[in-house]
């Protein structure tokens, strides 16, 4: 598997673990790759008692991308405790663009990441 595709799989893994930790029992993801970019469509529900944990989702996922940090830290994905916001911050540092919708117990994300080929 290519380096960039491994990063995409780590992003999906981080999101999945995060949402399972906040009570999700309905999680789906889809990855589309084309035109030098990957788009991740992610949807998950959550338990109402974890609503406060979602307050920073958009903030963390819209962090300014830092290619240097991404290259150093992307392999740390999966090393934190499930449900920690640091997981989302790492994802935010790895993606280029995020669209976040939170409605009626469901979170929908559309994340874009440019792919760099050797």
pLDDT values of the chain reduced to their tens digit, one per residue, 118 residues: 477 888 899 899 999 999 998 999 999 999 999 999 999 999 999 998 988 888 888 888 987 766 666 555 555 554 455 456 667 888 888 899 999 999 989 999 999 999 886 5
Q: Which CATH architecture has domain 3-114?
A: 2-Layer Sandwich (3.30)
Question: Global pTM?
Answer: 0.84
Distance in angstroms (rounded) separating the CA atoms of residues 78 and 49 = 24
Q: What is the model's pLDDT at position 33?
A: 95
Q: What is the model's pLDDT at position 58?
A: 86
10 Å Cβ neighbour count for 44?
22
- Please state the domain extents for the chain: 3-114
């Amino acid at each position: 598997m290519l380096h960039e595709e491994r990063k995409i799989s780590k992003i999906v893994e981080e999101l999945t673990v995060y949402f399972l930790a906040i009570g999700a029992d309905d999680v789906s993801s889809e990855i589309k790759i084309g035109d030098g970019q990957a788009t991740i469509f992610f949807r998950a529900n959550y338990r109402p008692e974890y609503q406060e944990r979602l307050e920073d989702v958009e903030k963390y996922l819209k962090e300014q991308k830092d290619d240097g940090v991404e290259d150093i830290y992307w392999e740390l994905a999966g090393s934190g405790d499930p449900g920690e916001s640091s997981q989302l911050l790492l994802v935010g540092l790895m993606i280029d663009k995020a669209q976040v919708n939170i409605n009626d117990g469901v979170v929908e994300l559309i994340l874009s990441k440019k792919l760099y080929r050797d």
